[in-house]
Amino acid sequence: MKYICLVYREEAKVDMMGEAEYNAILDEIREFQEDLERGGHHIASSPLQSVRNATTIRVRSNEEMSITDGPFAETKEQLAGFYLIEANDLNEAIRLASRMPPARLGAIEIRPLKTITNGKRSA
């Protein structure tokens, strides 16, 4: 089963890190990704650009679109990146996500992917 692991963290805290501390986290992230790859769990992963570069759109039933600069909601933690992983079940996905270095800087939201085939939804 495929799971998306959404990485949330406070940009301000990361911006305040010293260069050595920031580079140490990046090294851990690279090592973790290589470990996921060796274990056959890694499908894709990527950090995101700053939340300052986000644009949010909304389209309502009257087809009116609104565009907002910035993230969807004002929160302390912002979506910072993702891992798309393969795991046997939610327990394995939780075990893998608990080892993600960014979890120490914020939170990891784990969601199974939904598949759509022939116009029908499945879990």
Q: Taking residues 94-104, what's their average pLDDT?
A: 92
What is the arithmetic mean of pLDDT over 14-35? 94
pLDDT classification of 76: cutoffs 50, 70, 90? confident
- The CA-atom distances, in angstroms, between 28 and each of 58, 81, 100, 101, 123 are 37, 15, 9, 6, 33
pLDDT of amino acid 115 = 79
Residue range 65-81: average pLDDT? Answer: 76
Give the model's pLDDT for residue 71: 64
All residues at 6 or more sequence positions from 86 whose CB lies less than 8 Å from its CB, including other chains: 1, 2, 3, 40, 41, 42, 43
Residue 74 predicted with pLDDT over 60: no
Flag whether pLDDT at 37 surpasses 80.
Answer: yes
Task: Provide the 8-state DSSP code for 88.
Answer: S
pLDDT at 67 over 90: no
Residues ≥6 apart with Cβ < 8 Å to 88: 1
Question: Is-contact 101 34, C-beta < 8 A?
Answer: no
Report which of 69, 55, 50 is spatially closest to residue 11, judged by C-alpha positions.
50
Q: Is pLDDT at 72 greater than 80 in this prediction?
A: no
106, 79, 87, 109: which is closest to 25 by C-alpha?
Answer: 106
Give all domains of the chain, ordered by start, each with its CATH number. 2-50+76-122 (3.30.70.1060)
How far apart are the C-alpha atoms of 53 and 47, rounded to whole Å? 13
Q: Is the pLDDT of residue 106 over 60?
A: yes
